[in-house]
Amino acid sequence: MAELKEACGVFGIYDLDGGNVVPAVYYGLTALQHRGQESCGLAVSNTKGEAGNIQFHKDLGLVSEVLRRETLEKMSGDLGIGHVRYSTTGASVAENAQPLVLSYIKGTLALAHNGNLINTKELKWELIQNGAVFHTTTDSEVIAFHIARERVHSDSVEEAVLKTARKLKGAYGLVIMSPRKLIGVRDPYGLKPLCIGKRDHTYVLASESCALNSVGAEFVRDVEPGEMVIISREGIRSNRELAGEKTAHCVFEYIYFARLDSVLDGVGIYDARIRGGKSLARSYPVEADLVTGVPDSGIPAAKGYSEESGIPFGLAFYKNSYIGRTFIKPTQKERESSVHMKLSVLESAVKGKRIVLVDDSIVRGTTIANLIHMLKKAGAREVHVRISSPPFLHPCYFGTDVPSNDQLIASIHSTEEICRMIGADSLGYMKLEYLEGMAGGLPLCRACFDGNYPRRSDKSESELLKFADLKFC
């Protein structure tokens, strides 16, 4: 029940036997729906047909709302990409939906992007000076325009993508489609996930392995940080020119963003969240009668807390799965009221009991305060809150919708003050030193907690933060 949102999910597929991939793109995007519920779309190409003929459809809404049967039946191709979006840059309008499709002097190009760049301003200004006209307010369009410009002076589309990627600073998982090639690129830090799957003679690229399962593809491996993979009629090739020595995987993939059945960079998401809950139990033991989690993201960590503490695990909330996308509500008051619409307390499960309530984060504090009030109104004697992430102290510039410091409750209040403000009987946050253990020992980006933003040795933090006034996508 976090108040955070992720930027996007991307999906790409190439059937070398020439089969129609449109249904697979639909199923892949449906599996990634948790990564973006604002808009979606797909683009497909028939590699044996007329060169440059890319069909596409995109709009605001869920996958099932935008990609309807009557629309998909009119589309066909053996190569396709798709995208689901939650905006952290650019307005929630149909123009900003992806994939972006460009027609230019060398043909056509479609691009889907997960992540945020930190040098959008300078890249966009370079294009504007050369006469570019933008139709969206996303940094994804900036990437696509740079690829199109580089393609004019390159021998292949992958060379143009590589030249563009050298300029990009920030986080990105890209899938790019030319009429006869599928390309995936992952940022050098590995901030955004991207993996490869295979089904017979069909290759798949996706933000998460759960999307591979949805189309019957077997997981092959993760795209490595700084790697570009090129899929064509000749098979799959790799270029690791962008790879660096340092990696920094986004910690919130393991705490909240990724789906429970996904495996990212060799780490099972379910297992990571169980480990997080066990760490909380060791750090903040308490006498209680029931451990419960805030649906859905807090439940695995709550189970881990229960296993480590020996306190029984149980459900305290009923979640109404048919309530719409409450995070799009335009006012804070409407967001708060939507909590009561989405969740109701199971009174018989909590009445007279001391409750340990586990959630993944506290951003502004309003959601957790409402839940505590609901539990106590239903008869809970005590509510002890445990959070499977450290306190948010800094904004994120890489694709997590962490607000500015003045909206982060932990940046202006102590843990004791927050505990009183939300009405909890005690409050404990995940300790920083336990994060990498939770994620299987992976090096993590945890800048939203400690302010240490990943950067190359030739780039100072001040250079990074000079873009902090921008909202990225």
- Judge contact between 102 and 144, C-beta under 8 A: yes
Query: What span, in angstroms and rounded, lies between the C-alpha atoms of 129 and 432?
Result: 44
Exposure string for 217-226, b = 16+ CB within 10 A, e = fewer:
bebeebbbbb
Q: Hey, what amino acid is at 57?
A: H
Residue ranges of the alpha helices (H) in 284-408? 299-309, 332-342, 347-350, 366-377
- Judge contact between 439 and 388, C-beta under 8 A: no
Catalytic residue from among 8, 40, 250, 473: 8
- What are the tokens at 455? 């950067």
Phi, psi angle pair for 8, to nearest 5°: -160, 170
Q: Hey, what amino acid is at 312?
A: P
8 tagged catalytic:
yes
Phi, psi angle pair for 35, to nearest 5°: -85, -10
Query: Which residue reads 């092959």 in tokens?
Result: 220
- Give strand pairing partners of 43: 56, 81
Query: What span, in angstroms and rounded, lies between the C-alpha atoms of 100 and 121?
Result: 19
Burial class (CB in 10 A: 0-12, 13-18, 19+), 230: buried
36: DSSP letter: -
- Judge contact between 361 and 4, C-beta under 8 A: yes
Query: What span, in angstroms and rounded, lies between the C-alpha atoms of 255 and 6?
Result: 12
| Kind of pairing between the strands at 100-104 and 195-199 | unpaired
The sign of the dihedral angle between the CA atoms of 337, 31, 170, 12 is: negative
- Judge contact between 40 and 27, C-beta under 8 A: no
- What are the tokens at 471? 């909202």
Q: Hey, what amino acid is at 376?
A: K
Residues with a catalytic annotation lie at 8
